Amino acid sequence: MIKIYHNPRCRKSREGLQILEESGKDFEVVKYLEEIPTEKELRKIINCLGIKPINLIRKNETIWKEEYKNKVLNDDQIIEAMLENPKLIERPIVIKNNVAVIGRPPENIKGIL
């Protein structure tokens, strides 16, 4: 099953959703600002992406700039920041069979379909 972590207010996320819709494949939409991932889910996403937690952070978000930017944080603290402020999580994220991509640009999604 394909899963997209989606923010309907984000243009790139809407473009990613459109790519999935046009693919004709079944998928699940997770509006992650409403259905905040658990710590276990977030760690799985990071593992599927094959990245460090810091690389999943939206560093231009005001909350990041004001609360975290100049601090030295370990991976656990970065994950905790994303759980407390899911707006910090980069989007969209598409997962298929334990492989994930960040849909920036949205065309990245086509690579796992």
- What does the angle CA 68 – CA 70 – CA 72 come to, to the nearest 5 degrees? 80
Our answer to whether residue 10 is catalytic in this structure is yes
Q: Where are the alpha helices (DSSP H) in 31-89?
A: 39-49, 62-67, 75-84
Closest CA to 48 of 113, 98, 93: 98
Pick the catalytic residue from 5, 7, 9, 10: 10
Catalytically active residues are 10
